[in-house]
Amino acid sequence: MNAEIQKLGNSGQSVYRRRHVKTDGRDVYLYGYSPPDREPVTEELLAAANSAELRWHPLRKEWSIYAAARQNRTYKPSSTDDPLAPSRPGLPPTEIPFSDFDLAVFENRFPSLMSGAKARPSAPDDPATIAPADGRCEVIVYTPKSTGSLATLTQERRELLVHAWIDRYSALFALGNKFVLPFENRGDEVGVTLHHPHGQIYGFSFVPAVQQNAADAFKDGFDLEAKIKSWRKDYEIESAGGLSAFAPPFARFPYEVWLAPVKLRRGPWEFSKEEIAGFATLLGNVTRRYDTYFGRPCPYMLSLHAAPQGAGNSFHFTAQFYPLLRAPGKVKYLASVEQATNIFTVDVLPEQVAAELKKI
Amino acid sequence: MNAEIQKLGNSGQSVYRRRHVKTDGRDVYLYGYSPPDREPVTEELLAAANSAELRWHPLRKEWSIYAAARQNRTYKPSSTDDPLAPSRPGLPPTEIPFSDFDLAVFENRFPSLMSGAKARPSAPDDPATIAPADGRCEVIVYTPKSTGSLATLTQERRELLVHAWIDRYSALFALGNKFVLPFENRGDEVGVTLHHPHGQIYGFSFVPAVQQNAADAFKDGFDLEAKIKSWRKDYEIESAGGLSAFAPPFARFPYEVWLAPVKLRRGPWEFSKEEIAGFATLLGNVTRRYDTYFGRPCPYMLSLHAAPQGAGNSFHFTAQFYPLLRAPGKVKYLASVEQATNIFTVDVLPEQVAAELKKI
């Protein structure tokens, strides 16, 4: 077997990973249930950005990321031009230099966070606390097909996605990242016009305040397992394989839905085989419920909230869907109040959301 | 003089306020440099919402506001139907039952926060910490004309706006609010399709965590006066009447600009006559610079960050513009990373923003 290919040890399932380094130095990984042993095709040499910095907001007590090279990134590419497709003979090379794959991960060409990031040597007048934007930005391509969604992927493919996330958590923590955020932006309203089913993964060299707050709350005794059980009647939409899909009673987005293992797991890397299957099932079903309820592919943000490094054993994993619709045909806008205070105004009660989505 | 009319004591300027109670119980205030003594016209009786609640997010440690009655609020009204215009004879009554005015304030018909708000008597299964959404939501109409912006109002009208804000701070604090947020949402991308120049004011019964963080930073010695002076060369865009317009070195939005008195003032109520004029000047000029730079009316969120109650004497007022464009023709989207972590990714450095906006 090709030396670049490794069998992963997740839950007794045979999952293979192949590593390939692109000519511009970026990593590509292929994942599959059988060894991805095709030969790579010829690549285009692309310049990768290597400068970005963090600045500290002294009043909000949060970091911001400055990545000026991203200003030139692809903006609303034409839909005939799919950089996430396999590189097919006779067509220009895409980001993935293989003629086929099941699931692929590659380092973002326009990253906000990067390993060995350099802050500019001098910022005018020592304006703020500045640090290099160390970390990692990856793109994760769910399928070689240019269309589809979490709802239309096969269950087998969604499970492969969970296996790949588990491997990326492990790889990005091993690189020294303190918090790893797999996420998916979906739909024009979220700023995405590349409809090839894909997500992204950010590795942060620090723990964002939002995640630190959550870690502190769990350490202080917030018991999500007991809550999920007590919310079953009024907030749960469905459950599968030990995971629950529910509208959290304190949702910030209308139609916000969380997926969580009922039992405390710090991240998907602690899931049993049944929980991996249950998570994959619910990712598909919740997306399908949204699309049915809103009568169109629902624009949403999906983020996976696993324990940051150092959070101890009490952090309970959740995956959070934030749809950008507040009713069929009505977009949810985040405006001054949300941006100035972080206080969200919600038009619909979570218990109503649960009842409506449950009916579908 | 009509008993409803009062002369306000701001900075030696003659400013008058008239209070009127609408037939549905909501307050309307007219402001002007001369007494607004016209008779009110016949009104429509509208049902006002009176139920909303706060719920505590145990992991983010923030309140959210639930105002289900807002789900039925006006969504993208037709542009011929202007509820913020004066009520003109022969036309249906608007929100302001006077045939003319200079500047008007009225209680929002679809408020998220309200005095005497009732939380529903029982929420299923004690889902979360719940409190009534006490507070106040007002709409502030800058001019009787249906078109225009902070850039096109006369300087006299912008100063009247500052006087009205000062009076609203005083009134909303007197009602028991702990934090008062005047703001303006502008443009389709921010979710606003009512182009009549107007803003809003929220009175909160609690101090949001963002504002508490700022109050703590000022108490711990963050010296904005010294910073503004040291940022003059590289971050200042212009100054007027003792106020500075600058791109903060730690901006979260591309093209974010703050206005602040160079000297510590906790809020506009501490402004001198010159500072009121300077603030009014900069509000107009910064909006004009944006519109010129982006080649169109720039969609933005503007929020006024004055000291919350109990913040002590060290809180330094700022007004913050968050544009929703990251370059001419390119919209800034807030997506998963921002929503999941509060960490913003910015494509353009504040020192470049300052240089570009200064040139205009």
* pLDDT at A359 (0 to 100): 96
Task: Indicate the helix (H) or strand (E) that contains B261.
Answer: strand B257-261
Contact A340 B210 (CB under 8 A): yes
Chain pair A-B, CB pairs under 8 angstroms: 232
Report chain A residues whose CB lies below 8 A from the CB of B60: 210, 213-214, 252, 342
* pLDDT at B91 (0 to 100): 82
Backbone angles phi, psi at B57, to 5 degrees: -85, 110
Whole-angstrom distance, CA of residue A320 vs CA of residue A258: 5
Per residue in B287-308, pLDDT tens? 999 999 999 999 999 999 999 9
Tell me whether residue B20 is one of the annotated catalytic residues: no
**214-243 in A: which are within 8 Å (CB) of B?**
214, 217-218, 222, 230-231, 233-235
Identify which of B55, B183, B341 has the shortest CB distance to residue A181: B341
Quick check: A166 and A139 in contact, CB under 8 A? no
Q: Count the helices and strands in chain B (H runs, E runs).
A: 7, 18
CA-based torsion, A339, A343, A347, A351: positive or negative: positive
Token look-up 């324990």 returns: A307
Which of the four pLDDT bands, split at 50, 70 and 90, describes residue A78? low
Contact B64 A250 (CB under 8 A): yes
- What are the CA-CA distances from residue B220 to residues A60, B248, B314, B318 (Å)? 13, 19, 9, 18
Token pair belonging to B130:
């719940």
Per residue in A139-163, pLDDT tens? 999 999 999 999 999 999 999 999 9
- Return the higher-pLDDT residue of B213 and B125: B213
Per residue in B165-181, pLDDT tens? 999 999 999 999 999 99
- In chain B, the domains with their CATH numbers are 74-109+134-360 (3.30.428.10)
Q: What percent of chain B has pLDDT over 70?
A: 90
For residue B269, the SS3 value is helix
* Residue B102 Cα, gap to closest chain A Cα (Å): 25
Q: Which residues make Cβ contacts (< 8 Å) with residue A108, sequence separation at least 6?
A: A137, A138, A139, A200
The answer to whether ipTM exceeds 0.90 is yes
Token look-up 């604090």 returns: B173
Contact of B123 with chain A, judged by CB distance below 8 Å, is answered with yes
Identify which of B65, B123, B346 has the shortest CB distance to residue A345: B65
- Amino acid B320 reads Q
* Order of all β-strands in the sheet with B103-107: B5-8, B15-21, B27-32, B103-107, B135-141, B198-204, B179-186, B300-305, B318-323, B257-261, B243-246, B236-240
- Amino acid A277 reads A
For residue A25, the SS3 value is coil
Contact B124 A235 (CB under 8 A): yes
Query: How does the average pLDDT of chain A come out, rounded?
Result: 91
Q: Is a pLDDT exceeding 80 seen at residue A210?
A: yes
Q: Which residues pair with A319 in a beta bridge?
A: A259, A304
Per residue in B96-131, pLDDT tens? 999 999 999 999 988 999 987 766 655 555 556 788
Chain A's closest residue to B253, CA to CA, is A64
Query: How does the average pLDDT of chain B come out, rounded?
Result: 91
Per residue in A274-285, pLDDT tens? 999 999 999 999
* pLDDT at A306 (0 to 100): 98
Cite the DSSP H helix spans in chain B. 155-174, 209-219, 224-230, 232-235, 273-294, 336-341, 350-358
Whole-angstrom distance, CA of residue A212 vs CA of residue A319: 17
Report chain A residues whose CB lies below 8 A from the CB of B63: 343
Q: Is a pLDDT exceeding 90 seen at residue A293?
A: yes
Report chain B residues whose CB lies below 8 A from the CB of A185: 335-336
Per residue in B14-43, pLDDT tens? 999 999 999 888 999 999 999 998 888 877
Instruction: Specify the pTM.
Output: 0.94
Whole-angstrom distance, CA of residue A16 vs CA of residue A11: 13
Contact A336 B185 (CB under 8 A): yes
Whole-angstrom distance, CA of residue A199 vs CA of residue A302: 9
Mean pLDDT of B125-154: 89
Whole-angstrom distance, CA of residue A15 vs CA of residue B147: 61
Whole-angstrom distance, CA of residue A250 vs CA of residue A233: 16
- Give residue A98's region: left, alpha or beta (phi > 0; psi -120 to 50): beta
Q: Are strands B62-66 and A344-346 parallel, antiparallel or unpaired?
A: parallel
Q: At what angle do helices A273-294 and A155-174 cross, to 10 degrees?
A: 120
Mean pLDDT of A55-83: 77
Token look-up 């470049």 returns: B352
* C-alpha atoms less than 13 angstroms from C-alpha of B310 in its C-beta half-sphere: 11
Quick check: B61 and A213 in contact, CB under 8 A? yes
Mean pLDDT of A335-345: 95
Mean pLDDT of B74-86: 73
Whole-angstrom distance, CA of residue B305 vs CA of residue A157: 48
